[in-house]
Amino acid sequence: MIADNRGVHYQIVGKRLYRQSNCMFPSRCQGIEHFILEIIDKLPNMDLIINVRDYPQVGRYFSNDQQFPILSFSKEVTSYADIIYPAWTFWSGGPALDIYPNGIGRWDLIREKLLKTQSKLPWTKKKNIAFFRGSRTSSQRDPIVMLGRSRPDLVDAKYTKNQAWKSKADTLGDEPAKTVSFEDHCEYKYLFNVHGVAASFRYKHLFLCRSVVLNVESDWIEFFYPYLKPWIHYVPIDKNFDNVVEVLEFLNDNQLLASRIAKRGFEFIRDHLTMNTIRCYWQNLLTLYSDRIISYRPMKPDPNLIEIY
């Protein structure tokens, strides 16, 4: 019942992977299974419940009988105790947009495109503007869009259409803007990152533009967020947006500092968020999970599960 309600039940038995037959989001399961299958020869037998929904499942303050360990790609750290794994989007199942109808696509392939794009756009050729394009998955994004209307000299921020769009009211009274590719984001010196329903999938991509990432403060994280440091790899923006204009004016007046932050953020993601490090993280995560959290070792696969190849 736990698997049915809060995640997908997986087993690793005898270096083989098994899963319950139904997966709510098949491409998300595919993205998870890709990495597990690559390292399965190094993993012991174990049972896993992996959440493929956007929202975490284990409340930090629930009673003990509800504290079954569940793996989720993202969580709000003050309220949830899920164990975080690298999101399926590194391989498949990312957000489907009009310019990415099958999802954003594999991380290694997008990395390659963005690395080529940024090499043609040195800091001095980028537009001196803070940029945002995205759908209204959270009203927390509204102040950025409104600032773009009142200060177009500093901010270019507009809402695009998503599946829930019904009228201009869903884009704060304007027609929805066209979706902008990640490569075209690289034309701007400053790029906003704001969480939506959960942690934002765009975050890692923005760094590879070698632009300054303006990260709006949030308690939502993915597995790699804690390694990124404010004013070293990105510039923090107050969650109430009280300091946006001040920060942008400061960065414009201190271009050398801004370019160095952009460079450090770019180099960190380029060097440390690769397909090899993601595989390594998965291996360490599942090894520690089986050694320290779950003592039970299944000896035979559950007959209700199917084998995943």
Contacts within 8 Å (CB) and 24+ apart, 162-165: 162/135, 162/136, 162/137, 164/135, 165/135
Burial 228-264 (b: 16+ CB within 10 A, else e): beeeebbbebeeebeebeebbeebeeeeeebbebbeb
Q: Two tokens at 263?
A: 């460079």
Which residues lie closer than 8 Å to 212 by C-beta, 6 or more apart? 189, 190, 191, 234, 235, 251, 258, 261, 262, 265
Query: DSSP of 184-225, one letter per residue?
Result: HHTTEEEEEE---SSS-TTHHHHHTTTSEEEEE--SEE-TTG
Catalytic residues: 54
